[in-house]
Structure 1
Amino acid sequence: MKNINFLKISILLYILNFIQTYATEKKTVDRKLIIFKNDTLKSNKKSHSKIVFAIDPPIIKAHGNQLYCPQNSINIVTGITISHDPSETGTQAVYIQISSGYSNGFDKLELSNPSLHPSITTSWDVTAGKLKLSSPTGIDVSYSNFEYAIRDVVFSNSSATASGTKTFSITLGQANYLPSNGHFYQFVPNVGITWSNAKAAAESSTYYGLKGYLATITAADEAKLSGEQASGAGWIGGSDAETENVWKWVTGPESLANNGTGTVFWNGLSNGTTPNFAFWNNNEPNQLGDEDYAHITAPGIGIPGSWNDLSNTGSLNPGDNYEPKGYIVEYGGMPGESPLEIAASTQITIPEATITSPKPICDLGTITLNAASNAGTINWYDAAVGGNLLGTGNTYTTPTINTTTTYYADAGCEINRKAVVAIVNKTPDTPTVYSPVYRCGAGTVTLQAASNMGVINWFTTSTGGTSVYTGNNFTTPDISANTTYYTEASDSGCTSNRTPVNIIVYTPPVVSDEEIILCENQTVMLDAKLSGMFYKWSTGETTQTISVSASGNYTVEVTSPNPENCSSIKNITVFEYKKPIIKNIIVKNTTITINLTNPTDYFEYSVDGVNYQTSNTFYDVAGGLQTAYVKAKDNLCNINEATQSFIVLVFPPFFTPNNDTYNDFWEVTGMENYPEAEVTIFDQYGKLLIQLRGSKLSWDGTFNKTPLPASDYWYALKIDNTKPVFRGHFSLKR
């Protein structure tokens, strides 16, 4: 009987041990029918080879969303419970991972007071950011002991500048758990596996009843957990095999989108468009050859956890960085699946103030400071460490201050206080100027202003408006009337009062240039023609009028008395009219030309002393003794008039000796003025007919008192031995 009871007890212990050993393994998602086999739950039609148990998987609940200050330690949970089937009281390992916000080298998870937990050993994976709590003996540790241990797991960060939020995943399975989507991730080592084989292997695996698939990475925290924090490089579910350069997720739930065509996450070559999240390595995808499949890069290649594109086989060189090392399996999200509760999460937030820089004030006043916290309440202090609590809330209004003062916003960690500078700027002194500024006549004016600080701006209005110039010295545009400009000094947003600068425009003396005639050997008076002024002649004289006796250019600076004190320059050009000097008078029959030794265009000529002309040639001048007159135009300088007598000899071209009292004699008019003159007359054969001289100065057309026939006759006039003989001919008509 005892043997039978012992056998029954042994069989029962064996069954319970089997249940405890595999209770943490893969289970059906409806949590009613559990089939166990080699850490992976799979459906198996050969039910006779499986042991079926109606055991619910454990459910873990964790609490502890807390604030954390860097360089301290904090428990990752404030409460933890693991509910389990009465027939399954423990498991061999629990995994706690920093699943988001992990900072490698600074963040750390560890079990405090390890001596209080002799049944548990720990292992920290710095790459994955994962702490393993496990049995040191291979015998299951009770869930209650794991609860106590998890309560003693602490987080620490060694960086004084740490920031952000850290999420802790606590899972009863080995796969990485991502709280943001409730999915599990597992890197499966398999050197040299092809992408297509990895896809098939992933889809044939399960995790506590969840169907696996090559990971589809759609968010940054997912990329970090499945890539950077995974234990190796491997295939993921992206491909552009269908359409080159159009990358889709072709596995998992994303493959079912768009009528089963997949979800596009990249459309274009390197640096192309990203319709959804993508995390390509530098210059990837580069489409070298037939690279149609996405792969997480090997550690140390480019951006940690990023992707590159490879062919289906990847590199075939053993040990090469592009040789496939395995694949990433993702569990969760497939149609009909309910989320597992074998994982829980908590998080800590490092309080941090976000500062809005306040607008500076001028001279003195109050300033309202603004800050926001990612968690907790803002406290305001007057020191970076310690100090006095000044106020609480997102805003703080300072007391009246007249100097720049620094305040500190504390979001919950003294080490993270943010300085907020309340800037008090000084208003520059009102500019000093030179005013009024005088100007003579239209033109520009250079205005000057100075202040103790800042820049000088110039305006056309006493208030408002836009600055027309910046600088101490402002040259205005041309102005012709009284004008006022305004200047102010500005520094760091503080502006002084405006100072007017008056510009007074005076009208200079109105003068006109002149041209004046100076007669030879005389003097002429030059007159500025404005009285009551100050005068400065180019000759050095300072009177309104001066007397000059030489031609030339003379100037006089005419200056009005104060306050105008404006000057104008009058130019006076003096032209000297010289006395005309007659060189000769050329008489050609009745055409007379008067030649001067000093001809100029201001002389005019006459042969009767009454009628003058600018030409020196006269026609049809009467015969006889005449007088030539030369003087300056417009009756100027008449005392310098020149005269000279001349004789015009008129040789009649014909005569008619018929006693009708008209042209009965041929005689030379003007010859009476030459007592020594002699005229000899010849016929056409050269026969001397008569000589006229003295008192006999005319010929009646006879030879020896005999009338000569009508014909042409020749003459020769000799006035004296100093003048040439005049020769010609005339006609006798009957």
Structure 2
Amino acid sequence: NFPTPLNICSGDIINIGNTSPNGVVGTWSSAFSNTVGATYTFTPNAGQCAVGQTLTIAIRTLSLPAIAGTSQLCEGTSITLSNTVPGGIWASNNTAIATIDASGTVLGIAAGTAILSYTIASGSCSLTVFHTVNVHPLPKPKLTDQNFCIDSKTGLFISDIILNCAIPNSGYSFVWTRNSLPLPTTGNSHVADEAGIYEVVVTNTATGCSQTAQCTLGISAMPTGTAVATEDFQNNQIITVTVSPVSNSYLFRLNGGPWQQSPVFSNASEGENIVEATDTKGCGTLTLPVYVLNYPRFFTPNGDGYNDTWNVSLPDENGSEIYIFDRMGKLLKSLKPSKDSGWDGTYNGKMLPASDYWFQLHYRDYQGGEKEFKAHFSLKR
């Protein structure tokens, strides 16, 4: 009682043995074919009280042409594949390399090889054809934003800028533009002598894959300028830096400290200070010495090696003189400004008591003008 007719798909495995479903053992007239339909006769073995049977096997055959379309594409680009038989399903065996949608549009994801398939179905039968695609890598050119440095005296660029896109000349073509206008350069490097937006399109001559790199070349300059402190001998000395040209690309620092955007420094130390103004776009650093005039507010002549004498330090001590008085106006000492020596708190060899003392300083300021300054300080014991 073999089922007949038996409908199968071309190429299916035929699992029919020499024993019928109701246990009759026999032989078939010929071997089964899974590609050509035919009728087969089953002859039972003798002694089973059974009669022969015929079995018709019908083969359902599907036809599907090859997939049409190119097999080469670049990362990030797409191609379209097609098949003349409609209604099939597209698939990719590696979606990390290439994907394909229901319309047959293939998108290159990463360099490598993927096998794409197109499958049609009819009833329980299906047929699949395959298409291999190669996804080629894109060139990876690199350009960096830079700045031309201007000579502050001539106003001319100090030097040209060489743009190199980091791709070898061999095997690639190059198209350069500045502000979207073509440049004559055809190699991997361009010598730029104008500010603007530069772009290079690099193409792999073997695969046709292209990638673009862009950079902006601006203009900057090393600052020039001055740094001055506030009025001499103020308690909070403030240094102000004035630079040219005016730019927000400058940073400032005092005595090797942290860089800051503000050109103003408070509580500057007495004596020589070093101010730096640097161009963050790489065009250099201006260094300016600034002398802050101030005086000690007290001294302690106790012989411990700290603040044992009192004096004022000046950048130019020539022609300067200090006169020290007690609170009654009596002249106790006259001396030259110095950073190495000073008044020890004595008068005619005798130690004076802890108190406030007054002084008068005659000196020249940083512009060379004659100045006089009066104030007081404390002697502590």
Report the TM range for the smaller structure's normalisation. Answer: 0.5 to 0.7
More strand by percentage: 2
The one-letter amino acid paired with 1:644 is L
The question of 1:514 aligning with 2:144 is answered: yes
The question of 1:568 aligning with 2:234 is answered: no
The question of 1:578 aligning with 2:221 is answered: yes
Q: Distance in 2 between matches of 1:558 and 1:632?
A: 33
The question of 1:731 aligning with 2:378 is answered: yes
The question of 1:654 aligning with 2:302 is answered: no
Question: How does 1:658-669 map onto structure 2 within 5 Å?
Answer: 665-669=309-313
Q: Which of 588, 595, 602 is the equivalent residue of 2:241?
A: 595
The question of 1:447 aligning with 2:80 is answered: yes
Describe the shift of the 1:446–1:707 C-alpha distance in structure 2 as closer, same or farther (beyond 3 A): closer
Q: Which of 525, 528, 534 is the equivalent residue of 2:173?
A: 534
Structure 1 unaligned spans of 5+: 1-426, 462-467
Q: TM-score, normalised by structure 1?
A: 0.31
| Partner SS for 1:455 | coil
Question: How does 1:229-628 map onto structure 2 within 5 Å?
Answer: 430=65, 433-436=68-71, 438-441=72-75, 443=76, 445-449=78-82, 451=84, 455=86, 457-460=88-91, 473-476=103-106, 479-480=109-110, 481-486=112-117, 501-512=131-142, 514-516=144-146, 518-520=148-150, 521-522=157-158, 523-531=160-168, 532=170, 533-539=172-178, 540-541=182-183, 542-549=186-193, 553-562=197-206, 564-574=207-217, 578-586=221-229, 593=239, 595-597=241-243, 598=246, 603=251, 605=253, 607=255, 611=256, 613-615=258-260, 617=265, 621=269, 623=271, 625=272, 627-628=274-275
The one-letter amino acid paired with 1:647 is Y
The equivalent residue for 1:210 is none
| Partner SS for 2:73 | strand
Q: Distance in 2 between matches of 1:600 and 1:718?
A: 41
Aligned-pair CA distance for 1:507? 0.6
Q: TM-score, normalised by structure 2?
A: 0.54
- Tell whether the 8 Å contact from 1:434 to 1:449 is kept in structure 2 after alignment: yes
1:496-552 C-alpha deviation (Å, 9 max, x unpaired): x97754432101113446354654433322210110222223323333112335666
The equivalent residue for 1:150 is none
Aligned sequence identity (%): 24
Describe the shift of the 1:690–1:557 C-alpha distance in structure 2 as closer, same or farther (beyond 3 A): farther
After superposition, the CA RMSD in angstroms is 5.2
- Tell whether the 8 Å contact from 1:430 to 1:498 is kept in structure 2 after alignment: no
Describe the shift of the 1:705–1:484 C-alpha distance in structure 2 as closer, same or farther (beyond 3 A): closer
- Tell whether the 8 Å contact from 1:444 to 1:475 is kept in structure 2 after alignment: no
More helix by percentage: 1
Describe the shift of the 1:550–1:716 C-alpha distance in structure 2 as closer, same or farther (beyond 3 A): farther
- Tell whether the 8 Å contact from 2:74 to 2:108 is kept in structure 1 after alignment: no
The one-letter amino acid paired with 1:507 is P
Q: Distance in 2 between matches of 1:458 and 1:704?
A: 113
Describe the shift of the 1:573–1:726 C-alpha distance in structure 2 as closer, same or farther (beyond 3 A): farther
The one-letter amino acid paired with 2:78 is V
The one-letter amino acid paired with 2:358 is W
Which structure has the larger Rg? 1
Q: Distance in 2 between matches of 1:645 and 1:444?
A: 60
Q: Distance in 1 between matches of 2:197 and 2:74?
A: 25
| Partner SS for 1:641 | strand
Aligned-pair CA distance for 1:693? 8.0
Aligned-pair CA distance for 1:732? 2.8
Describe the shift of the 1:458–1:682 C-alpha distance in structure 2 as closer, same or farther (beyond 3 A): same
Describe the shift of the 1:660–1:428 C-alpha distance in structure 2 as closer, same or farther (beyond 3 A): closer
The one-letter amino acid paired with 2:357 is Y
| Partner SS for 2:82 | strand
Structure 2 unaligned spans of 5+: 1-61, 93-99, 151-156
Q: Which of 712, 716, 719 is the equivalent residue of 2:356?
A: 712
1:199-236 C-alpha deviation (Å, 9 max, x unpaired): xxxxxxxxxxxxxxxxxxxxxxxxxxxxxxxxxxxxxx
Q: Work out the number of aligned pairs and report it.
A: 286
Describe the shift of the 1:553–1:682 C-alpha distance in structure 2 as closer, same or farther (beyond 3 A): farther
Aligned-pair CA distance for 1:675? 4.5
